[in-house]
Structure 1
Amino acid sequence: MLLPALCCLLLLRSCCPVTADAAEECHRFTDLNLHNSIVGTDLKVQLLLYTRENQDCAEDLSQESASNSSHLRVSRKTVFVVHGYRPTGSPPVWLEGIVQRLLTLQDMNVVLVDWNRGATTLIYHHAAKNTKKVADILKKHIDKMLNEGASLDDIYMIGVSLGAHISGFVGHMYNGRLGRITGLDPAGPLFKGKPPEDRLDPSDAQFVDVIHSDTDALGYREELGHIDFYPNGGNDQPGCPQTIFSGSQYFKCDHQRSVFLYVSSLQETCNIVTYPCDSYKDYRNGKCANCKAFLPLTCPVLGYYADKWKDYLVPKNPPVTKAFFDTATKEPFCITHYFLDIISWNKNTRRGYITIKLMTKAGNTTESKINHEAAAFEQYSQVSLLARFDQDFEKVSRISLTFSTGSIIGPKYKLRVLRMRLRSLADPERLQLCRYDLVLLENIETIFKPIPCQNMQLQ
């Protein structure tokens, strides 16, 4: 039986040979090099479609209508990912990560907008000049989708650097009716001081959220969305090189951090909670920890799920909210916030800094140096310090405190602590840890076992 069946199969193949055209062609992001950058590139836009059916093999939508596409379904949400300036011509390192994680979260259309030919040049001005041309091309393709039954409510654009302004231009052409735009460190050079129609603006979509990670160099400092997130104040990002001797990473690490923070939000391993505040200084001083305005939600989270706060953020007048937060040095970037409350009983005011370390029985430790601003410890007055830890321990067996005035020479001081209390900001119901009657010698680590606060009474 097997031999006749095999003969029939071979006969069918000989009569109906499979051609190369029958196999699906996989399109790839344009890969250029420094030579292309030196001579310059003419603008050419390629739209690479990924769905759950073809998440490893992109379809090129550039010449197709929605009805002719093998994988595009206009009834689904469509996310356009738009890159920025490419001085060396290489594909962005984050492309695959953002595509795969978006498709893991939701059954959607993900379209990589490849305008590498046009973005690859040593002359930044040439790339910036192409942004409105790219927006015009995207508008034509979105119009095709709308003609096939797509809804502007389901169009979501994620723009990186120059790509953020391209997204804004598209939104402006639709009078702000796009569902959402996320700007990842929108480009600052050549766009600072421009009117709303010439840059990203809150009016470009129903909801616009922006992450600013390099405001002192390649990014845009001022607010551009309904909510603008400023990780680590928006300037230097932890883990990024601080000197020019680190090569290209010195120039692009802070700028790219916005992308990696967003990609991290797609994992759902932890939520990066942010704190609406007037300034980074106020956030670091613990003045913006009250999130009751957002009940039943908490404070806004960064990234993909930021739109959960849309109903609260968008109606504001003016429709702008700034949110600050700190991050760890590497993915998933989340940190844990605690308040360290200290009541001192020194007769004279002591000004200084506190370093707190948490330890578990297994020997794991996490540390927070609260050294951005000297605290004033006054007799019988409570000082609440915002402590930030890279790890969150369910059970803390030991705590250490170190007091410092920041002075290298001169007399050593003591901080007499009547009570210290550690309370979780993210989980107010978590057991609070206390300790009573401590003397902290300057620059000397004091280790102790904490006690549940409800077992203690001040006398």
Structure 2
Amino acid sequence: MVAYLSRDFNVITVDWRPLTRYPCYLHSLINTRLTAQCTAQIYAFLTHYGAAPERITCVGHSLGAHICGMISNHLTRKQYRIIGLDPARPLIERMKSNKFRLSIDDANVIQVIHTNAGFLGQEDNNGHLNYCVNGGRIQPFCKGNPIRKSRCSHFLSICYLATATFKHKKFMGVPCPNGCLNLSGSKRLPVSGKVNPFEFASLIREYHIGNDAPDDARGCICIDVPYAKHCPFTDA
């Protein structure tokens, strides 16, 4: 939120903590429907009184990303832009209907930032523009046992967006059409021994993430983020 306020955005936050009784994940999952319905009323109020849909972005982390998608179920016209931060995976993949999760039909522009794909975050590229940060699976800044690494990686999606928003920053990246990759060692971009290094270098571009990314950008991109500022979760 602070990152957006630093850029003179207006910010509305939805506090649904009373509906998310820790540690009962199932309780939270069930209440995503109610949260989406109530949030849709706020969205409809704003647009009814003149707010341009193109200037509204729903940003949600984990289950919040799916709530952003489900808001469009309660609107006569779907949203314009959604940014999903590592959309939650546990139990979500069992839902056969896209009505109860973020899907590519929920907005005209959907960006998904993957940081723990295949673990706490979804593996599917369910956005128009999908970013796999540092491989998109386990972040190099996260230490400890597998559970701690996954939790830390999952939350870092928030920090990466905040850093990009604060600084209007671009990140080096390459297309990765096959989705997020397991990277070992210090690598943060998918370098294969079978790829000519000059050919690989020719694919590298600078990319904006978040609201600075162009609305018409499409595909899956692996980006290198060499730090994790603005984040309290690295020791989680």
Indicate whether 1:304 and 2:211 are aligned. Answer: yes
From 7, 11, 19, the equivalent of 1:110 is 11
Work out whether residues 168 and 201 of structure 1, in 8 Å CA contact, stay in contact via their aligned partners in 2. yes
Indicate whether 1:150 and 2:72 are aligned. Answer: no
| Matched residue, 1:13 | none
Paired letter, 2:171? I
Deviation at 1:326, TM superposition (A): 2.8
Mapping 1:52-131, distance limit 5 Å: 99-106=1-8, 108-131=9-32
1:57-99 Cα deviation digits (max 9, x unpaired): xxxxxxxxxxxxxxxxxxxxxxxxxxxxxxxxxxxxxxxxxx2
Deviation at 1:284, TM superposition (A): 1.7
| Matched residue, 1:272 | 171
From 196, 204, 224, the equivalent of 1:326 is 224
From 236, 244, 255, the equivalent of 2:154 is 255
1:138-166 Cα deviation digits (max 9, x unpaired): 11122222232222222210000000000
Alpha carbons of structure 1 residues 176 and 284: separation in structure 2 relative to 1, 3 Å: farther
1:223-249 Cα deviation digits (max 9, x unpaired): 1100111112211101101326xxx84
Deviation at 1:259, TM superposition (A): 0.7
| Matched residue, 2:106 | 204
* Cα distance in structure 2, aligned partners of 1:302 and 1:152: 20
Deviation at 1:276, TM superposition (A): 1.8
From 128, 131, 156, the equivalent of 1:226 is 128
Alpha carbons of structure 1 residues 142 and 325: separation in structure 2 relative to 1, 3 Å: closer
| Matched residue, 1:190 | 91
| Matched residue, 1:215 | 117
- Percent identity, aligned pairs only? 27
Work out whether residues 212 and 231 of structure 1, in 8 Å CA contact, stay in contact via their aligned partners in 2. yes
* Cα distance in structure 2, aligned partners of 1:176 and 1:193: 27
Work out whether residues 212 and 219 of structure 1, in 8 Å CA contact, stay in contact via their aligned partners in 2. yes
Number of positions where the alignment pairs a residue of Structure 1 with one of Structure 2: 217
SS in 1 for 2:47: helix
Whose relative contact order is higher, 1 or 2, with alpha carbons under 8 Å and at least 6 apart?
2
Work out whether residues 64 and 87 of structure 2, in 8 Å CA contact, stay in contact via their aligned partners in 1. yes
Deviation at 1:288, TM superposition (A): 5.3
* Cα distance in structure 2, aligned partners of 1:213 and 1:232: 8
| Matched residue, 2:71 | 170
Deviation at 1:283, TM superposition (A): 3.4
Which of 1 and 2 has greater Rg? 1
Work out whether residues 160 and 228 of structure 2, in 8 Å CA contact, stay in contact via their aligned partners in 1. no
Work out whether residues 120 and 127 of structure 1, in 8 Å CA contact, stay in contact via their aligned partners in 2. yes
Alpha carbons of structure 1 residues 269 and 182: separation in structure 2 relative to 1, 3 Å: closer
SS in 2 for 1:122: coil
Paired letter, 1:210? V
* Cα distance in structure 2, aligned partners of 1:160 and 1:262: 11
* Cα distance in structure 1, aligned partners of 2:74 and 2:203: 36
Structure 2: which 5+ runs fail to align?
184-188, 232-236
Work out whether residues 238 and 327 of structure 1, in 8 Å CA contact, stay in contact via their aligned partners in 2. no
Alpha carbons of structure 1 residues 312 and 325: separation in structure 2 relative to 1, 3 Å: closer
SS in 1 for 2:79: coil
Deviation at 1:304, TM superposition (A): 3.0
Paired letter, 1:115? W
* Cα distance in structure 2, aligned partners of 1:273 and 1:193: 35
Deviation at 1:126, TM superposition (A): 0.8
Deviation at 1:264, TM superposition (A): 0.6
| Matched residue, 2:190 | 283
Work out whether residues 111 and 127 of structure 2, in 8 Å CA contact, stay in contact via their aligned partners in 1. yes
| Matched residue, 1:243 | 145
Alpha carbons of structure 1 residues 288 and 188: separation in structure 2 relative to 1, 3 Å: farther
Indicate whether 1:160 and 2:67 are aligned. Answer: no
In terms of fraction of residues, the more helix-rich structure is 2
Structure 1: which 5+ runs fail to align?
1-98, 293-297, 314-320, 334-459
Work out whether residues 276 and 288 of structure 1, in 8 Å CA contact, stay in contact via their aligned partners in 2. no
Alpha carbons of structure 1 residues 329 and 150: separation in structure 2 relative to 1, 3 Å: closer
From 67, 74, 81, the equivalent of 1:180 is 81
* Cα distance in structure 1, aligned partners of 2:40 and 2:200: 40
* Cα distance in structure 2, aligned partners of 1:267 and 1:312: 21
| Matched residue, 2:234 | none
